[in-house]
Amino acid sequence: MNRDFIALSKESLDLIVIGGGIIGAGIARDAALRGLHTLLVEKEDFGWGTTARSTRLLHGGLRYLRQFQFKLVREDLKEREILLRIAPHLSHRLPFIIPMLRSQPLYRLAMPFGMPLYQMLTSGRDIPSYQHLSRRQTLNLEPELEKVRDLTGGYLYYDGELEFMERLCLENVISAAEHGAQVLNHARVTQLIMHDNTVAGVEVQDEITKQNFQIKGRLVFNAGGPWADFVWDKMNLRAAERLRRTRGVHLFMNRLSRNALVLFARSDGRLFFVIPWQEYSLVGTTDTDYTGDPDKVHAEAKDVNYLVSELRHYFPAVESKDVHYAFAGLRPLVASGAGKASNTSRAHRLIDHRKEHGIEGFLSVLGGKITAYRLVAEEAVDLITRKLGSPARCTTAETQLPGAPAVLPQAIKKAAEESGVSPATAEHLARIYGSRFTKVLALARNDKRLAQPLGESCPDIMAQVRYAVNSEYALTVSDFLLRRTDAGLRPAQGLDITETVAQEMGNLLGWSDDTRKQHIEAHQAAIALTRLFRKENQ
Q: What separation in angstroms does the CA of 461 have from each of 319, 377, 428, 437, 441?
A: 34, 35, 10, 12, 10
H or E element, residue 76: helix 70-86
CA 29 to chain CA mean position, Å: 16
CA 156 to chain CA mean position, Å: 26
* CATH tag for 409-535 (out of 1.10.600.10, 1.10.8.870, 2.60.40.10, 3.40.50.261): 1.10.8.870
Nearest to 519 by CA among 469, 456, 449: 469
Residue ranges, CATH 3.30.9.10, the chain: 92-161+244-334
CA dihedral 253→257→262→267, nearest 10 degrees, is: -60
Residue ranges, CATH 1.10.8.870, the chain: 409-535
Query: Rounded CA gap, 369 and 361, in Å?
Result: 26
Burial class from Cβ neighbours inside 10 Å (0-12, 13-18, 19+) for residue 270 reads middle
Residues 330 and 239: beta-carbon distance below 8 Å = no
Q: Is 363 helix (H, G, I), strand (E, B) or coil?
A: strand
Helices (H), ranges, 249-399: 301-312, 353-357, 373-388
Query: Rounded CA gap, 348 and 91, in Å?
Result: 23
DSSP of 463-502, one letter per residue?
A: HHHHHHHHHS---SHHIIIIIISSGGGSTTTTTTTHHHHH
pLDDT at 334: 86
pLDDT at 128: 87
Phi, psi for residue 238 in degrees, rounded to 5: -90, 70
The DSSP call for residue 461 is B
What pTM did the predictor assign?
0.96
Q: What separation in angstroms does the CA of 424 have from each of 67, 141, 160, 229, 417?
A: 45, 28, 25, 46, 11
Residues 215 and 12: beta-carbon distance below 8 Å = no
- Crossing angle of helices 437-446 and 409-419, in 10° steps, is 20
**3-class DSSP string for 196-260:** CCEEEEEEEEECCCCCEEEEEEEEEEECCHHHHHHHHHCCCCCCHHHEEEEEEEEEEEECCCCCE
| Burial track 361-387 (b if 16+ CB lie within 10 A, e otherwise) | bbbbbbbbbbbbbbbbbbbbbbbbbeb
Q: What separation in angstroms does the CA of 358 have from each of 125, 352, 354, 474?
A: 47, 9, 4, 39
Q: Whats the size of the chain, residue-wise? A: 538
Q: What separation in angstroms does the CA of 448 have from each of 380, 444, 497, 498?
A: 46, 6, 19, 21
DSSP of 379-427, one letter per residue?
A: HHHHHHHHHHT------TTTS--TT-SPPPHHHHHHHHHHHT--HHHHH
Q: Decide the pairing of beta strands 212-222 and 362-366.
A: parallel
In sequence order, which residues have a C-beta less than 8 Å from that of residue 158 and are 6 or more positions away?
93, 94, 95, 96, 127, 128, 130
Query: Rounded CA gap, 76 and 78, in Å?
Result: 5
Nearest to 271 by CA among 324, 310, 315, 302: 310
User: Could you tell me how many helices (H) and strands (E) the chain has, helices first?
Assistant: 18, 18
In sequence order, which residues have a C-beta less than 8 Å from that of residue 447 and are 6 or more positions away?
463
| Burial track 430-463 (b if 16+ CB lie within 10 A, e otherwise) | bbbbbbbbbebbbbbbeeeebbebbbeebbbbbb
Q: Running along the chain, 538 residues long, what does each successive block of 10 average in pLDDT?
A: 89 97 98 98 98 94 84 92 96 96 90 91 78 97 95 96 96 98 98 94 97 97 95 74 89 97 93 95 95 95 97 95 96 78 78 92 93 97 96 96 95 94 96 97 95 93 98 98 96 97 98 98 97 85
* CATH tag for 92-161+244-334 (out of 3.30.9.10, 3.50.50.60, 2.60.40.10, 1.10.645.10): 3.30.9.10
The DSSP call for residue 453 is B
> Rounded to a whole number, what is the largest CA-CA distance in the chain?
70
Q: Is 268 helix (H, G, I), strand (E, B) or coil?
A: coil
